[in-house]
């Protein structure tokens, strides 16, 4: 992965290897960046066998142990090479097969990207207010934990000072865990910014230019 102007240094061999690797441009290929601060939505801009560049919907987090997770669930260890706020370049922990990464093979059907975020919230039903916990969230729905029995197709409202008000219906249950489908879905940008506000609000100080 090439060095961005004005950013730190990388050794000449690594830079040469990154420049030599063929790149594939991937506009709007959504993925997850796993960082010490939490899990964040991003878009893969281009990828080669040795590295990848990402664009975020806010400043991209930094730190050790970064990983890129695809919609298939495949994960790739990353080392950050440069960072320009909402865009950053990374070196893979080891060379990857680009064709395989692009194909995102999986033994299971692809699912919408889910962000694992634990957050206490209120579950409001008609005439009832229950305590619950957010387990994960996607553009279309969420998983919550609630000790009180909820019926399939039960309409409810999720309320938290750190989330927008969400109206949803129960679609499945597994003991105290419930899968919800939102009445109004999030677009990718909105979900990315909502999740950043919950996990690391300082990342919202830098916003990307709209294409």
Q: What is the pLDDT of residues 86-119, one digit of tens each?
A: 999 999 999 888 888 888 777 666 778 999 999 9
Q: Is 24:7 a contact under the CB 8 Å cutoff?
A: no
User: Residue 114: helix, strand or coil by DSSP?
Assistant: coil
8 A C-beta contact, residue 85 and residue 4: no
Q: What is the pTM of this model?
A: 0.83
What 8-state DSSP symbol labels residue 59?
P
pLDDT value at position 14?
Answer: 47
Radius of gyration for the chain, computed over Cα atoms and rounded to the nearest angstrom: 19
How much of the chain, in percent, has pLDDT values that exceed 70? 83
Q: For 55-67, write each residue's pLDDT tens digit.
A: 999 999 999 999 9
What stretches of the chain show up as alpha helix (H) in DSSP?
12-20, 98-103, 188-199
Task: Give 34's pLDDT tier (boundaries 50, 70, 90).
Answer: very high
Compute the distance between CA of residue 40 and CA of residue 62 in angstroms, rounded to an integer.
11
Q: What is the DSSP string of 148-188?
A: S---TT-EEEEE-TTS--EEEEEEEEETTEEEEEESSPPPH
Residue range 159-177, pLDDT digits in tens? 999 999 999 999 999 999 9
Where residue 69 falls among pLDDT bands split at 50, 70, 90? very high
- The confidence score (pLDDT) of residue 10 equals 38
Spatial CB neighbours of 151, under 8 Å, sequence gap ≥ 6 = 170
pLDDT-wise least confident of 28-32, 34-38, 72-76: 28-32
Indicate the pLDDT class of residue 29, thresholds 50, 70 and 90.
confident
CA distance 1 to 15: 7
Assess contact for 69 and 31: CB atoms under 8 A: yes
Q: Is 111 helix (H, G, I), strand (E, B) or coil?
A: coil
Q: Compute the average pLDDT of residues 70-74.
A: 90
Q: Regarding predicted confidence, which is higher, 206 or 117?
A: 117
Question: Residues 146-156: what's their mean pLDDT?
Answer: 96
Task: Read off the pLDDT band of 120 (50, 70, 90).
Answer: very high
């Amino acid at each position: 992965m090439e060095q961005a102007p004005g950013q730190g240094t990388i050794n000449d061999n690594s830079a040469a290897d990154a420049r030599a690797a063929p790149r594939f441009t991937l506009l709007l290929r959504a993925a997850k960046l796993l960082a010490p601060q939490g899990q964040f939505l991003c878009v893969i801009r281009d990828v080669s066998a040795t590295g990848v560049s990402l664009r975020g919907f806010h400043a991209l987090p930094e730190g050790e142990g970064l990983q890129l997770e695809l919609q298939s669930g495949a994960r790739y260890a990353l080392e950050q090479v440069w960072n320009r706020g909402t865009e950053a370049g990374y070196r893979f922990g080891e060379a990857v097969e680009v064709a395989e990464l692009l194909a995102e093979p999986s033994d299971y059907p692809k699912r919408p990207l889910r962000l694992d975020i634990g957050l206490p919230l209120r579950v409001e039903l008609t005439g009832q207010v229950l305590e619950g916990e957010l387990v994960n969230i996607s553009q279309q729905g969420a998983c919550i934990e609630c000790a009180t029995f909820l019926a399939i197709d039960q309409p409810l409202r999720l309320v938290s000072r750190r989330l927008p008000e969400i109206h949803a219906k129960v679609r499945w249950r597994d003991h105290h865990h419930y899968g919800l489908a939102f009445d109004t879905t999030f677009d990718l940008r909105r979900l990315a910014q909502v999740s950043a506000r919950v996990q690391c609000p300082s990342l919202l100080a830098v916003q990307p230019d709209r294409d």
